[in-house]
């Protein structure tokens, strides 16, 4: 994983298969980019909408399954090894008083 995100990456491709209107896809993309711009090592984040993790690195991962540099966040997984959450599965952590976030950190 290379530190730092290439902001010229086409973030839209991660949301293209979502079953919603284009405006909603664009809003999710924009929230994702805004959150990634603030995320740094040691910050808490949510992966897959329900698992809180601590960021080890934020950058471009070029391994499986894409084999080309893709924005991702490295974290320690449940078995103690480094794992990667891709940009479209990363969101802000729960806010205090909120039981769960909606897409990319917005409280319900």
**What pLDDT does residue 51 have?**
87
Residue with tokens 């405006």: 23
Q: What is the mean pLDDT of residues 54-69?
A: 94
The domain spans of the chain are: 2-6+18-105
**Cα distances (angstroms) measured from residue 23 to each of 59, 71, 73, 88, 96:** 26, 22, 26, 16, 29
The percent of residues in the chain predicted with pLDDT above 70, rounded, is 86
Tens of pLDDT, residues 72-94: 999 998 889 999 999 999 998 87
Supply the CATH classification number for the domain 2-6+18-105: 2.30.30
pLDDT band at 50 (very low <50, low <70, confident <90, very high): confident
**What pLDDT does residue 108 have?**
34
**What pLDDT does residue 102 have?**
45
pTM value is: 0.82
The two tokens of residue 59 are 């950058």
Q: What is the mean pLDDT of residues 32-46?
A: 94
Cβ(45)–Cβ(53) below 8 Å: yes
């Amino acid at each position: 994983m290379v530190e730092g995100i290439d902001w010229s990456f086409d973030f839209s491709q991660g949301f293209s298969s979502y079953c919603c209107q284009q405006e909603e896809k664009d809003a999710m993309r924009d929230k994702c980019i805004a959150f990634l711009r603030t995320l740094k090592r040691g910050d808490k984040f949510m992966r897959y909408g329900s698992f809180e993790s601590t960021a080890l690195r934020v950058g471009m991962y070029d391994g499986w399954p894409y084999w080309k540099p893709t924005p991702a966040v490295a974290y320690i997984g449940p078995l103690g090894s480094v794992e990667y959450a891709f940009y479209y599965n990363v969101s802000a952590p729960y806010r205090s008083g909120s039981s769960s976030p909606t897409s990319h950190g917005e409280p319900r």
